Structure 1
Amino acid sequence: MKAFAIQGSFGLDALRPIELPDPKPGPGQVVVKMKAASLNFRDVLVTKGLYNPKFKLPLVPLSDGAGEVVDVGQGVTRVKPGDRVCPIFNQRWIDGALSPAKVRGALGGELPGVLSEQVLLGEDGVVAVPPHLTDEQAASLPCAAVTAWNALFVEGRLKAGDTVLVQGTGGVSIFALQFARLAGARVIVTSSSDEKLERARSLGAWETINYRTTPDWDAPVASLTRGEGVDHVVEVGGAGTLARSLRAVRIGGRVSLIGVLSGSAPELSLFPVVMKQVTAQGIFVGSRAMFEDMNRAIAANGLRPVIDRVFPFAEARQALDFMESGGHFGKIAIRF
């Protein structure tokens, strides 16, 4: 079977096609024929060696995909051949709290990823696809969607009438916008592109702020919320945005720390955290149980993920280049 792997050394140029033997399932295992995959910024960092330079090479990257079960091993009862499934991001986090053992089970890193025509997984490591979704839409769910769901509903306990600030218009942020709207929350979206902000409004954004023309974007957030601040911030920027997020959140509010797009070594005052009793919560995707809860909500509401562009399998490197450029709105997919 065909796959792509990071070979020899890290770097985007090191991602090259490779031939691998077709997998055979053992007891409790399933073989999934991949139909589509999707990208996260993590995939760029992994490929370039910036996520964890100690990952063993060659490495098949990417954590997110969707496909069809084509073979099962002895004792498998959760799925059967013909089922449409997604792998879960962290193959060892089924339910409950995160632990050191569960952290080390992520696809496209500690474990081989999904940029391969077939993948071998444990039966516990897959979930059923919401039936109304295309393969590309389903492939966008495992990392970005579950992360947004965890931040808002599991850790964040979002309720109707809350105000949410989401940064940018990438995968996590757009899912957060869509999920928050389902719950009856108001959403403020920031971006450097007026065109992207207009698209965010079409998805239900309450207000939008161009952070390029309004670099002190925490000030209009305060005005929009009558000086109180927002209930939740979906923080994907990192060092370059965290200080403003802490100023934009209300007393007793929550900042969900998800991304490091602008760096990871902030020099900031912690007084706002203390004086405003802010909860700053790291979010590392989520469990299979969260994924299944999220899928029920997606199916019940007919929600469709936003796919910006679909690349053919042979153009996986070009897809990573596009992800690195930051020009996308929503998710980038690869069709097998």
Structure 2
Amino acid sequence: MSRMMQKWVVAQPGVQHLNIEESPVPTPAANEILVRVSAVSLNYRDLGVIAGEDGAPSMPFPLTPGSDMAGVVVAAGENVTRFREGDEVIGTFWAGWIDGDWPEHARVVGGKLPGVLAEYIVLHEDWAVHAPRSLDAVRASTLPCAGLTAWFALVEKGALHAGQTVVVQGTGGVALFGLQLARAHGAEVIVTSSSRDKLARALALGATHAIDRLEHPRWDELVRELTGGRGADHVFELAGGDNLGASLRALRQGGRISLIGVLGELSMTLPSVPSFLTRPVIQGIGVGHRRALEALVRAVDATKIEPVVDTAYSFHKLPEALQHLERGAFGKVVVKMVG
């Protein structure tokens, strides 16, 4: 008789159609590993997947959502060489993007591929990396998307180094990873937010300066003031709309803007003449590849960075966790498989 497991399934678009189902524990085929999931980190994208907005109508409903997990290898199929039973692992956000330019065949786990909100999952061995030794599963689960996005923007593409200034907008998972990684590299960090409480917490986490966007709607002017008129070297653009223009005005000559999210508007506008004069590098960041994730893991172990987790919910409280995610969190919202 097959062992059974529980998994979350959304039968059709809409969080109201999200339910726990039972199914047999899968068996790994050749080159695959069976992972007992320990924790799943939620991303804002998961709300769109569940609602059918991310790639609809081509999403393969019914589906199991969730893309970012930490777990333990409990079995390996034939020809597996990268892992063995007992290894602690984290999954890659992109299945099939190992290095270099993004390949067209790469797919997202928890989208076109089955997600990780299940007690057990099967992954191709190429779709996982060894977890950091310095982190528990809850914190390790935050690396595949939020952590790697910040790393890819600042280190892989941005050549971050000491003496630079980084602006991060908001206090979500990517923003706080950007703060922590920048400080670990010796850069200064300016955080913008409309919440005084969250700004205070960001300063306690190591931010150099905090800007209240309600008090300073022209936050870019204050960035230039805080940098002695030079402007920021890196800006995380997370809002969308005409905020991109403010990000440009906050930037130094030849600085870099990383387009990471659209928490406000789905389109962005940019003034043409100032963009010519500033000579910015504007880089879209779509998470990153496996090699960069492995580099991030090594960096986390070396620097002892502890990802910021707002709240960890039990597996059966996924709907409450999604509600928390939607109203905003300081750092990451995580689902634990036990407790």
- Deviation, 1:240, is 4.8
Query: Is the contact between residue 14 and residue 51 of structure 2 (CA under 8 Å) also seen in structure 1?
Result: yes
Query: Residue 188 of structure 1 corresponds to which residue in structure 2?
Result: 190
The DSSP-based 3-state class of the residue aligned with 2:178 is helix
Matched, 1:172 2:187: no
Gap runs ≥5 in structure 1: none
Q: Given residue 132 of structure 1, which amino acid in structure 2 is its aligned partner? A: S
| Distance across 1 between alignment mates of 2:247 and 2:259 | 10
Matched, 1:21 2:63: no
Which string of whole-angstrom CA distances, capped at 9 and with x for unpartnered residues, describes residues 265-294 of structure 1?
A: 234423322221111000010011000001
| Distance across 2 between alignment mates of 1:311 and 1:270 | 46
- Residue number among 43, 47, 70 corresponding to 2:46 in the alignment: 43
Q: Given residue 281 of structure 2, which amino acid in structure 1 is its aligned partner? A: T
RMSD, aligned CA: 1.0
Query: Is the contact between residue 240 and residue 262 of structure 1 (CA under 8 Å) also seen in structure 2?
Result: no
Query: Is the contact between residue 35 and residue 120 of structure 2 (CA under 8 Å) also seen in structure 1?
Result: yes
Which string of whole-angstrom CA distances, capped at 9 and with x for unpartnered residues, describes residues 132-161 of structure 1?
A: 211100111100000000000011111110
| Distance across 2 between alignment mates of 1:14 and 1:243 | 40
Matched, 1:64 2:65: no
Query: Residue 329 of structure 1 corresponds to which residue in structure 2?
Result: 330
Amino-acid identity (%): 44
Query: Is the contact between residue 4 and residue 17 of structure 1 (CA under 8 Å) also seen in structure 2?
Result: yes
Q: Given residue 202 of structure 1, which amino acid in structure 2 is its aligned partner? A: A
Query: Residue 158 of structure 1 corresponds to which residue in structure 2?
Result: 160
Query: Is the contact between residue 147 and residue 172 of structure 1 (CA under 8 Å) also seen in structure 2?
Result: yes
Which string of whole-angstrom CA distances, capped at 9 and with x for unpartnered residues, describes residues 201-256 of structure 1?
A: 11110100011222111111111112221000011112252121111111100000
Match runs of 1:88-99 below 5 Å: 88-99=92-103
TM (normalized to structure 2)? Answer: 0.96
TM (normalized to structure 1)? Answer: 0.97
Query: Residue 312 of structure 2 corresponds to which residue in structure 1?
Result: 310
Query: Is the contact between residue 91 and residue 106 of structure 1 (CA under 8 Å) also seen in structure 2?
Result: yes
| Distance across 1 between alignment mates of 2:278 and 2:17 | 47
The DSSP-based 3-state class of the residue aligned with 1:310 is strand
The DSSP-based 3-state class of the residue aligned with 2:252 is strand
Query: Residue 14 of structure 2 corresponds to which residue in structure 1?
Result: 11
Query: Is the contact between residue 147 and residue 284 of structure 1 (CA under 8 Å) also seen in structure 2?
Result: yes
The DSSP-based 3-state class of the residue aligned with 2:90 is strand
Query: Is the contact between residue 85 and residue 127 of structure 1 (CA under 8 Å) also seen in structure 2?
Result: yes
